[in-house]
Structure 1
Amino acid sequence: MIKAMLLVGAGSFFGGIARYLVACLLRGVGAGFPWATLTANVLGCLLIGVLWSLFSHGQASSLNLFLVVGFCGGFTTFSTFSKESLALLQSGDYTLFCLYALGSVALGILAVLLGYILAK
């Protein structure tokens, strides 16, 4: 149990750093639209799809804990997505809200599928 918690914690540490770097790289891109969160979430979904495909064939559970639960959990950010969606809704920009909320979910699902297919 301790080993599993350390693996998840270490993965989350690196995932959080990677998420921060994506935000730094995309700072100032498309003001008014949360590109950094969308990018991190779609990339995280793509990675989860790849890892899901690889680990469904009996790969080590330690790698699954570190990469899927830890890294991808720290890299993707549903809470930020939810906050940004609500902010767009409260600002009255219903078109941007719909594009972001629906686009994030659709792109996320497609990215998981693409990652899964690519890793097969």
Structure 2
Amino acid sequence: MWMTLIQVAAGGAIGAGCRYLTGIAMLRVVGPGFPWATMLVNGLGSFLMGVFVVYAAERAATHLGPFVMIGLLGGFTTFSAFSLDAFSLYERGDMAAAAGYVLGSVVVSLLALFVGVMIGRGAFA
């Protein structure tokens, strides 16, 4: 358990650092305005999650999952985990659950952010 926790923590530190550096780089390249860095890390993280899932299954490397999937890609972007979950539902043929999960996740996340901002503004303004 402790070794797995250390793997997750190490991967998370690397992933978060990469996300931070990506944000700085994108800001320098395209400037402020649209959240290009977030879109980039979400897309790239989801792509890498897909590649790794296949690699781990084909090469018996699932032992690297905590470091790569939860730590590295989780620290880089949690959107990759969301994408994998939605894709897994789709692959199982449960289109209604996949669509509900995607729609529900987006709506719940946006509503939660809105509520958090409102509470935060009320508490810290």
Q: TM-score range by the shorter chain?
A: 0.5 to 0.7
Task: Kindly indicate whether residue 32 of structure 2 is the aligned counterpart of residue 31 of structure 1.
Answer: yes
Runs of 5+ unmatched residues, structure 1: 88-120
**Separation in structure 2 between the aligned mates of residue 11 and residue 62 of structure 1, nearest angstrom:** 13
Displacement of 1:8? 0.4
Q: Structure 1 length normalisation: TM-score? A: 0.60
State the match for 1:17 in structure 2. 17
Alignment check: 8 A CA contact 1:19 1:76 kept: yes
1 or 2, which has the higher helix percentage? 2
**Separation in structure 2 between the aligned mates of residue 9 and residue 46 of structure 1, nearest angstrom:** 22
**Separation in structure 1 between the aligned mates of residue 4 and residue 59 of structure 2, nearest angstrom:** 17
Q: Deviations along 1:55-111, whole A, 9 cap, x unmatched? A: 123523331111111000000145xx957xx68xxxxxxxxxxxxxxxxxxxxxxxx
**Separation in structure 2 between the aligned mates of residue 35 and residue 77 of structure 1, nearest angstrom:** 16
Q: Deviations along 1:23-52, whole A, 9 cap, x unmatched? A: 010115253210000001101011001001
Q: Structure 2 length normalisation: TM-score? A: 0.58
Say which one has the larger Rg: 2
1:39-78 aligned at under 5 Å gives the runs: 39-57=40-58, 59-78=60-79
Alignment check: 8 A CA contact 2:8 2:67 kept: yes
Provide runs of 4+ in structure 1 moved above 3 Å.
Answer: none
% identical equivalent positions: 41
Give the number of aligned pairs.
83
Runs of 5+ unmatched residues, structure 2: 80-105, 115-125
Q: Secondary structure at the match of 2:58?
A: coil
Alignment check: 8 A CA contact 1:9 1:70 kept: yes
**Separation in structure 1 between the aligned mates of residue 76 and residue 52 of structure 2, nearest angstrom:** 14
Amino acid at match of 1:23: G
**Separation in structure 1 between the aligned mates of residue 3 and residue 61 of structure 2, nearest angstrom:** 14
Aligned-CA RMSD value? 2.3
